[in-house]
């Protein structure tokens, strides 16, 4: 039956297309809905960061506490990412996506009316959870609607987050200029309403591949491991300033290792575990998971650390330092389309390796003494890193998915989780080192070299990832 007469009822589970089959009608509209949701999520991260000092002054909270409206958001996202894929597989990607978008918009409204830092941090944490649940479900929806063209559709998602990174500071700055920080959160309310209405009428539910059973023990073990690991990583930043910092790090690290061991035993012994063992280690996925951790360490860590590095080493103003990230975003967008176009011809491995090599070059340029004005040099380095990210990003998104095409949502959640964990580890370790150093600018340069070395080392592992040309 042709696409023009295929009967697809929005909201109903559909038997087709099977994985790799014919694309569904209205797939481009569905892609627009999902991409808009991702854009809402990504711009919110950067727009809120522009209001930290304003929120601190308005609520009478210290900047250290105010920073948790960003950190709590990231932690909530990391905790939810591995669960989002499982929930989508069990209860339906459409239902999970719509519920997550609704919760995200409602929590944005609660953030807007918060009158104290405590409730604001709590709402931001829950908002991050909603976003972490939404991301894997969104990937599963697109994969289902695009069928045999899902590789290119999913690869295009690489361009959405950089666009949000560009829009976020602009939206945040504009809203702060004409209104207040409360309105930064209210922007998500009408956008969320549009997304839910459009999703109800346009999005079809991907087939469910697992029974509706909840692995409660696995979820508890996973969450406890992630929470203690995040506490250990986040507390790294307090070692140089608080006497109890080292004790907190060691205690949390021991608990994380213990919980991780218990979770690994559980995942290996239970076939319907919340995160099956085969997705952690099987068929080249173990190498890809390690690659994603160090990829996030370099790319996510660079995005957060570049403004700090520019201020401490070269004395740039905060606005000028933050504007350097525009080069990274523009570079990513510029080469993402090239990577998507080449993906089927070359396979993902060559693009991944070349892109990672260019990222290493960008990190090395950042650490090197500038040739000419520091602003121009750092903007060039950030753009080079962005070009590498644009090449490697779509390839990294597809690497691993073709090995388990029936687990797109679960693989997506794990991939983003591993990258975010790597990024937060890099940020915490670097900020701790910079805070304890007598020469913070030089220490920041060393951190960039270390990030480059880690990514160069993991390229040896990435070279062993199974390559795949064509569709999957």
Q: 263-283, pLDDT tens digit by residue?
A: 888 888 877 777 778 788 766
Total structural domains in the chain? 3
**Residues 244, 287: one domain?**
no
CATH number at residue 320: 1.20.1250.20
pLDDT of amino acid 186: 85
Cβ neighbours for 186, distance < 8 A, ≥ 6 positions apart: 108, 109, 112
How many C-beta atoms surround the C-beta of residue 364 within 10 A? 18
How many C-beta atoms surround the C-beta of residue 342 within 10 A? 17
Mean pLDDT, rounded, of the chain: 79
> Rounded to an integer, what distance in angstroms lies between the CA atom of residue 375 and that of residue 323?
10
Q: Identify the domain containing residue 252 by its residue range.
A: 216-273
Residue of 32, 3, 285, 274 lying closest to 141 (CA atoms): 32
Last residue of a domain, one of 183, 204, 225: 204
How many C-beta atoms surround the C-beta of residue 70 within 10 A? 18
pLDDT of amino acid 244: 61
pLDDT of amino acid 234: 64
Most confident range, picked from 33-42, 101-110, 217-226, 316-325: 101-110
> Rounded to an integer, what distance in angstroms lies between the CA atom of residue 179 and that of residue 206?
41
Q: Which two tokens stand for residue 273?
A: 């575990």
Determine, yes or no, domain membership for 194.
yes
**Residues 409, 471: one domain?**
yes
Chain-centre distance for alpha carbon 182: 24
Determine, yes or no, domain membership for 209.
no
How many C-beta atoms surround the C-beta of residue 211 within 10 A? 8
**Residues 229, 365: one domain?**
no
- For residue 14, pLDDT beyond 70: no
Residue 13's beta-bridge partner residues?
205
Is residue 61 very low, low, confident or very high in pLDDT (cuts 50, 70, 90)? confident
- For residue 55, pLDDT beyond 90: no
**DSSP code, position 371:** S
> Rounded to an integer, what distance in angstroms lies between the CA atom of residue 399 and that of residue 401?
6
Q: What average pLDDT score do residues 244-269 get?
A: 83
Under a CB-based contact definition with an 8 Å cutoff, are residues 454 and 296 in contact? no
Is residue 158 very low, low, confident or very high in pLDDT (cuts 50, 70, 90)? low
Q: Which of 10-24, 67-81, 416-430, 448-462 has the lowest mean pLDDT?
A: 10-24
Q: Give ∠ CA 128-211-89 in degrees, rounded to 5.
A: 35
pLDDT of amino acid 10: 40
Determine, yes or no, domain membership for 3.
no
Determine, yes or no, domain membership for 173.
yes
pLDDT of amino acid 376: 92
Residue of 421, 463, 382 lying closest to 132 (CA atoms): 421
Under a CB-based contact definition with an 8 Å cutoff, are residues 365 and 449 in contact? no
**Residues 60, 25: one domain?**
yes
- For residue 402, pLDDT beyond 80: no
Last residue of a domain, one of 176, 204, 232: 204
**Residues 227, 172: one domain?**
no
What values do phi and psi take at 429, rounded to 5?
-65, -40
- For residue 3, pLDDT beyond 80: no
* Alpha carbon separation from 40 to 47, 181, 191, 430 (Å, rounded): 10, 17, 8, 29
Residue 404's beta-bridge partner residues?
none
Q: Which two tokens stand for residue 38?
A: 């991702």
**Residues 197, 229: one domain?**
no
> Rounded to an integer, what distance in angstroms lies between the CA atom of residue 160 and that of residue 141?
16
**Residues 347, 227: one domain?**
no
pLDDT of amino acid 469: 75
Under a CB-based contact definition with an 8 Å cutoff, are residues 23 and 14 in contact? no
- For residue 374, pLDDT beyond 70: yes
- For residue 142, pLDDT beyond 80: yes
What is the DSSP secondary-structure string of 151-220?
HHHHHHGGGHHHHHHHHHHHHHHHHHHHS-THHHHHTHHHHHHHHHHHHHHHPPBPPP-S-S---HHHHH
Determine, yes or no, domain membership for 178.
yes
Under a CB-based contact definition with an 8 Å cutoff, are residues 380 and 364 in contact? no
What is the DSSP secondary-structure string of 137-169?
HHHHHHHHHHGGGHHHHHHHGGGHHHHHHHHHH
Last residue of a domain, one of 152, 177, 204: 204
Bond into 17 cis (ω within 30) = yes
**Residues 191, 240: one domain?**
no
Q: Which two tokens stand for residue 138?
A: 């969104």
**Residues 162, 230: one domain?**
no
Determine, yes or no, domain membership for 254.
yes
Most confident range, picked from 51-55, 68-72, 326-330: 326-330
**Residues 68, 108: one domain?**
yes
* Alpha carbon separation from 72 to 100, 232, 428 (Å, rounded): 17, 14, 14
Q: What average pLDDT score do residues 247-263 get?
A: 86
pLDDT of amino acid 2: 34
Determine, yes or no, domain membership for 12.
no
Residue 205's beta-bridge partner residues?
13
pLDDT of amino acid 267: 82
Determine, yes or no, domain membership for 211.
no
**Residues 338, 362: one domain?**
yes
> What's the chain's Rg over C-alpha atoms?
21
Residue of 276, 241, 302 lying closest to 432 (CA atoms): 241
**Residues 145, 82: one domain?**
yes
Under a CB-based contact definition with an 8 Å cutoff, are residues 173 and 183 in contact? no
Q: What is the pLDDT of residues 164-220, one digit of tens each?
A: 766 776 677 677 777 878 888 888 888 889 999 998 888 887 776 655 566 778 878
Kindly give the residue spans of alpha helices, DSSP state H, lying in 315-370.
318-323, 325-346, 348-367
Q: What average pLDDT score do residues 115-128 get?
A: 88
């Amino acid at each position: 039956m042709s696409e023009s007469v295929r009967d697809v009822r929005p909201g109903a589970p559909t038997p087709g297309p099977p994985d790799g089959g014919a694309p569904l009608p209205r797939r481009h509209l569905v892609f627009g809905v999902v991409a808009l949701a991702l854009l809402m999520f990504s711009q919110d991260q950067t727009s809120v960061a522009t209001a930290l000092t304003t929120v601190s002054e308005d609520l009478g909270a210290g900047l250290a506490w105010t920073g948790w409206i960003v950190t709590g958001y990231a932690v909530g996202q990391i905790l939810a990412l591995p669960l989002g894929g499982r929930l989508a597989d069990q209860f339906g990607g459409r239902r999970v996506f719509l519920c997550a978008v609704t919760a995200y918009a409602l929590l944005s409204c609660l953030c807007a009316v918060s009158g104290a830092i405590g409730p604001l941090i709590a709402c931001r944490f829950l908002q991050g959870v909603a976003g972490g649940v939404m991301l894997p479900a969104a990937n599963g929806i697109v994969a289902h609607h695009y069928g045999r063209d899902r590789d290119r559709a999913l690869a295009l998602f690489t361009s959405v987050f950089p666009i949000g990174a560009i829009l976020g500071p602009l939206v945040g700055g504009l809203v702060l200029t004409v209104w207040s920080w409360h309105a930064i959160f209210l922007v998500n309310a009408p956008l969320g309403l549009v997304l839910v209405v459009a999703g109800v009428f346009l999005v079809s539910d991907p087939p469910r591949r697992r029974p509706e059973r909840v692995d409660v023990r696995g979820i508890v073990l996973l969450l406890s491991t992630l929470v203690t690991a995040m506490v250990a990583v986040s507390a790294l930043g307090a070692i140089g300033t608080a006497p109890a910092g080292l004790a907190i790090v060691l205690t949390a690290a021991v608990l994380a290792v213990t919980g991780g061991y218990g979770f690994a035993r559980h995942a290996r012994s239970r076939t319907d575990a919340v995160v099956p063992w085969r997705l952690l280690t099987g068929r080249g996925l173990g190498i890809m998971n390690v690659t994603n951790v160090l990829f996030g360490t370099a790319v996510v860590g660079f995005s957060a650390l570049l403004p700090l590095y520019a201020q401490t080493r070269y004395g740039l103003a905060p606005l000028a330092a933050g504007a350097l990230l525009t080069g990274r975003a523009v570079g990513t967008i510029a080469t993402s389309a090239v990577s998507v176009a080449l993906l089927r011809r070359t396979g993902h491995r060559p693009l991944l390796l070349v892109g990672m090599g260019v990222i290493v070059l960008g990190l090395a340029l950042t650490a090197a003494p500038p040739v000419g004005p520091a602003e121009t040099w750092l903007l060039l380095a950030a753009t080079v890193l962005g070009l590498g990210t644009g090449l490697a990003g779509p390839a990294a998104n597809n690497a691993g998915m073709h090995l388990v095409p029936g687990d797109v949502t679960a693989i997506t959640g794990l991939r983003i989780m591993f990258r975010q964990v790597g990024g937060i580890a890099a940020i915490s370790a670097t900020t701790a080192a910079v805070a304890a150093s007598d020469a913070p600018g030089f220490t920041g340069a060393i951190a960039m070299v270390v990030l480059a070395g880690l990514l160069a080392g993991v390229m040896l592992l990435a070279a062993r990832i199974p390559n795949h040309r064509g569709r999957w």
